[in-house]
Structure 1
Amino acid sequence: MIEHHDVELSGIRLHVAEQGAGPLVVLLHGFPEFWYSWRHQLAGLAAAGYRVVAPDQRGYGRSDRPADVGAYTLPQLAGDVIGLIRALGEKQAFVVGHDWGAMVAWAVATMRPDMVRAVAGVSVPPLPPREPQPPLRAARERFGGRFYWNYFETPGVAEAEFGKDLDTTFRRMLFGASGSRPADREPVPPLVPPGGGFLDLAPEPPATLPAWLTEADIAAYVEAFTESGFTGGLNWYRNLDRNWELTAVYDGAVITAPALFVIGERDRAFAGVEAMDAAVATLAPGHRGTVVVPGAGHWVQQEAPERLTGILRDFLDGV
């Protein structure tokens, strides 16, 4: 049974969903999600003999949502995970992340390898070597400000679009980036149309949801974001250039912990097993291989929950 509680860290309070007993596994969600995206893995990994914890990361769900945009940098987000491991009475943990949560997981493994028993990223590989330009500036120049990162930059704009109709927002986002979307809707790169919004990139969701997504799931997302709003999560994107500056000290660093990368076959970021293996192995010499989940899109842990739980269980058990 999932238990919920709050954990007080240094300057931040995180809401946590927890299940099971054994070695600690920390599951980190992405955008726009909250602990609930790991609901299946909480039960599955707990049954396999692990203590599984899925926090609402700062800015999300029932956790604190600092007003300062600068409170959402990658070192701060990684620091939350380190603080959480310690607050739970542990010295080390397995760290698993999806989407933005994967970026945080990779960062924790890079910054504090002594506290990471193993690391797994889902959908997003480790950060590539440092580019000569900050990412938001580079995207702005390359795509004329239409890249979705840049659309998210201006405070209030994406918040207004997403908050107008939460039910529609989550139907379009979750279906639109999933493996269930039509094959002819592949907007790569994701450029927001002139005068349009981010949701224009997603196809119209079907009247009947795909089997992996229920009406109760949509209602859970609507309830969570009615309370939290989107500003906290969007502030993660607004710190991309600041992250580029703050993480310069780690340029060239490698991840020494055993590592695993998992991606959906229909995730827009999937570039083939060999290419992804090579990219991850360069940054994580302990890489155990790239696992591709057939038919899944971006939301792997929700679209193929039993498959991902089994992949993670085998990886963790092997470590």
Structure 2
Amino acid sequence: PAGGAVGISTRKATRPMKYETGSEAPNSASAERATDAGAAVARTAVAAGPHVHTALTAGPHGGEKVLLLHGFPQFADSWTEQLTSLARAGYRALAVDQRGYARGARPGRVADYAVDRLVADALAFSQALGSGPFHLVGHDWGGLVAWAFATEHPELLASLTVLSTPHPQAIAAALRSDPGQARRSAYVQRFRRPEGVAEADLLADGAAALRRVYGDFLPPGRVDSYVDRFAEPGALTAALNWYRALPESLTLPGGRIRVPTLYLWGDQDGALGRTAAEGTGAWIDAHYRFEVLNGAGHWLPDGHADRVDPHLLAHLADHAAG
């Protein structure tokens, strides 16, 4: 696991369980105190052990802390809209290019991308924000890291928010009981093929296969930016190593969650189906809200920010850090 020096430098660039569903975003007390002051997103560097991660940050230094973890195949940029919304609401937010996605954090061994290493990185990122409890937000693979982090370090969290990705145990149960989820998850084995094989397929013909992963849910300019960065030597291999580091069972750590949790899922998600999404609540031993975004696909942070952000701000306001 990552250890050692942790730093950040910046330059411009338990309540009773509550289970809710719905598609309309609530009003947020945080949003009502929104201000443009300090809402600009700045480029940042975060040290985690021997690695240096590029990142984005926004908001006043005295604000409650929010750490955002992206998924595959995306970068910290996927949280740009959330960073702005959080900053306007008075939060100090940090979104990091995770292990393998940042040029300065790209170890060569597949074993270096095991989930315990990713959780240790998230711990280092949170320490860069400062001491005290913080709000953790994750999407896709970042959501899996967030579930594992909340299982191991609940005492550090004011709240947890996960977009798209069900609890790991709910995914495992769905894979056993729902043939549809097994079909949806078939891509994982394609991504786990030996180094060079999966990369060649995804980047061939102008990265046509990689572009198809995003579907039509993201702005073309954002997709172009992602593809350009994955075309850098070693970048796509490092990102795919997250999949290659999975155990043969494809199971991931994740236990009982004892912090207030918001889970957002789009009912048009092509990778993660309803069975696992609806099964997630069984693993939450705290205040829990499950919001279904009707008509939304997998790419919630940058594809549906207008629907995600009000839910996120309301959740954070309801569970302010002590």
Pairwise TM-score range, normalised by the shorter structure: 0.7 to 0.9
Q: Deviations over 1:166-209 (max 9, x none)?
A: 55344311116x4xxxxxxxxxxxxxxxxxxxxxxxxxxxxxxx
Given candidates 212, 224, 231, the residue that maps to 1:219 is: 224
TM-score (norm 1): 0.76
- Secondary structure, aligned partner of 1:59: coil
- 1:241 equivalent in structure 2: 247
CA contact under 8 A between 2:101 and 2:238: conserved in structure 1? yes
- Secondary structure, aligned partner of 2:93: strand
Q: Kindly indicate whether residue 12 of structure 2 is the aligned counterpart of residue 10 of structure 1.
A: no
- 2:190 equivalent in structure 1: 151
Match runs of 1:171-190 below 5 Å: 171-175=211-215, 178=217
1:163, CA displacement in angstroms?
A: 2.2
Match runs of 1:269-280 below 5 Å: 269-271=272-274, 276-277=277-278, 279-280=279-280
Match runs of 1:18-33 below 5 Å: 18-21=57-60, 22-33=63-74
TM-score (norm 2): 0.76
1:5, CA displacement in angstroms?
A: 1.8
CA contact under 8 A between 1:85 and 1:93: conserved in structure 2? yes
Number of residue pairs matched? 268
Match runs of 1:308-319 below 5 Å: 308-319=308-319
1:12, CA displacement in angstroms?
A: 2.2
Moved over 3 A (4+): 129-132, 242-247
- 1:118 equivalent in structure 2: 159
- 2:31 equivalent in structure 1: none
- 2:265 equivalent in structure 1: 263
Counterpart residue type for residue 131 of structure 2: E
- 1:201 equivalent in structure 2: none
Q: Distance in 2 between matches of 1:87 and 1:23?
A: 13
**Residue ranges of structure 1 left out of the alignment (5+ in a row):** 179-211
Counterpart residue type for residue 199 of structure 2: E
CA contact under 8 A between 2:246 and 2:252: conserved in structure 1? no
Distance 1:85 1:264, change over 3 A: same
- 1:290 equivalent in structure 2: 290
Match runs of 1:190-209 below 5 Å: none
Counterpart residue type for residue 211 of structure 2: R
Q: Distance in 1 between matches of 2:90 and 2:249?
A: 36
Counterpart residue type for residue 58 of structure 2: Q
Q: Deviations over 1:262-289 (max 9, x none)?
A: 01121132316xx734x22221111422
1:83, CA displacement in angstroms?
A: 0.9
Distance 1:245 1:260, change over 3 A: closer
Given candidates 29, 36, 39, the residue that maps to 2:80 is: 39
The CA RMSD measured in Å over matched residues stands at 2.7
1:16, CA displacement in angstroms?
A: 1.2
Q: Kindly indicate whether residue 232 of structure 2 is the aligned counterpart of residue 231 of structure 1.
A: no
Distance 1:220 1:283, change over 3 A: same
- Secondary structure, aligned partner of 2:169: coil
Q: Distance in 1 between matches of 2:49 and 2:225?
A: 29
Distance 1:172 1:83, change over 3 A: same
Counterpart residue type for residue 10 of structure 1: G
Distance 1:63 1:93, change over 3 A: farther
CA contact under 8 A between 2:214 and 2:223: conserved in structure 1? no
| Larger CA deviation: 38-47 vs 237-246 | 237-246
Q: Distance in 1 between matches of 2:201 and 2:69?
A: 25
1:150, CA displacement in angstroms?
A: 1.8
Q: Kindly indicate whether residue 121 of structure 2 is the aligned counterpart of residue 80 of structure 1.
A: yes
- Secondary structure, aligned partner of 1:223: helix
Counterpart residue type for residue 292 of structure 1: V
CA contact under 8 A between 2:137 and 2:162: conserved in structure 1? yes
Q: Deviations over 1:129-150 (max 9, x none)?
A: 7969xx9xxx9xx99xx93222
Q: Distance in 2 between matches of 1:17 and 1:49?
A: 16
CA contact under 8 A between 1:74 and 1:243: conserved in structure 2? no
- 2:302 equivalent in structure 1: 302
| Larger CA deviation: 107-116 vs 150-159 | 150-159
